[in-house]
Amino acid sequence: MSTILIASGLLAFIGTVFFTGVYRTAAIKQGIIDTPDHRSSHTQPTPTGGGVVAVITILALWLVGHFVGLLTTKETIALVMPGALIALVGFLDDRKPLAKRWRFGAQIISAITVIALLYPLPALPIWGEFALNLNHWPLPFVALAMVWLINLYNFMDGIDGLAGSEAVTVLGAVAIILALAGNTNLAILLALTAVPMLGFLVWNWPPAKIFMGDACSTFLGLSFGTLAFITSKDAQITPWVWVIMLSAFWVDATYTLVVRMVTGQDWRSPHRTHLYQKLARSKQDHVKATLLYVGFSLAIATVTAYVTLAQSKLPLFPALITLAISVHFCTRFRAGLTPKN
């Protein structure tokens, strides 16, 4: 099994790097270009949609994972089928913008499919022995949370290297936590999932030679939600691990949206008032902004690992601390606000 996994990882990295380059050449010829405008965080026309290569590679790796016993059949279907659907819709949207109803419809179908295949969902521990049963009245909220995760990861893909780096950091950190907790199979699966994103970063690291596109960003958002349930089923880690690890992204996106709604802005229109966008402008460098997010994620990974391995009876506490820190930075840099506000 180890030989197959090592070979798969190497092929995944090399294949992603090579075929992303092939896609980039084709995208330039076909005019699949992101042209900067007043709300953009980049200044040069850049090919987009290159993340689809990483998506295809990840889907293939999950099938390999099922073949060698890292995933059950239901888990594989829950990852592959909805993931392929959301990526396909994103890919089509990258080439020609689709109506919102088609995008939202695909997101709802994908979220419901994941929940149905992985039902019953793991409980969400709150305090001591008390845990929230997600399999009754919370189910609609779980589906909406997954839809929001799909969209917010797309919103956060706005500067060079950020979404890809966050994916590698989160997957790598949770893989280590799982390995330390004794779940080697899922740790290997997450490590393999991170490999194509590393390959994509060869092209997407600042200054980016190609952008990720909706196909990959929405796929990653859905995949993180699905993996959160799969990795929490044996209670070695809880969904809080993923909530904490992804806090840099979901707090930035959620805080910014709420502020724009409360201040009477057109919250449905494109903008560049997320925290990460303001950091990129203040530092005048995408690399520094991306590394700040990676550094924050690595810092909270250390805390998350300690709390998880210590089997804390207060799993909600570190999540609240991380939330408070993230909100502090959003407030400090006036995320969601324009100079007029």
CB of 302 within 8 A of CB of 177? no
**Which residues neighbour 13 within 8 Å (Cβ) at sequence distance 6 or greater?**
195, 196, 198, 199
Facing residues of 46 across strands?
Answer: 34
Question: What is the rounded CA–CA span in Å between residue 273 and residue 95?
Answer: 26
Report CA-CA distances (Å) from 323 to 173, 217, 245, 250, 294: 18, 23, 11, 10, 16
Is there a binding annotation on residue 214? yes
Q: How many CB atoms lie within 10 A of CB 131?
A: 15
- 3-state secondary structure (DSSP) of residue 187: helix
Q: How many CB atoms lie within 10 A of CB 333?
A: 19
CB of 50 within 8 A of CB of 20? yes
Q: By CB neighbour count within 10 A (0-12 exposed, 13-18 middle, 19+ buried), where does 309 fall?
A: middle
> What token pair was written down for 310?
């210590």
> What token pair was written down for 263?
């201040």
DSSP H or E segment with residue 49:
none
Q: Distance between the two ends of the chain, CA-based, in angstroms?
A: 58
Is there a binding annotation on residue 154? yes
Residue stretches of the annotated binding site for Mg(2+): 154, 214
Q: Give binding residues as ranges.
A: 154, 214
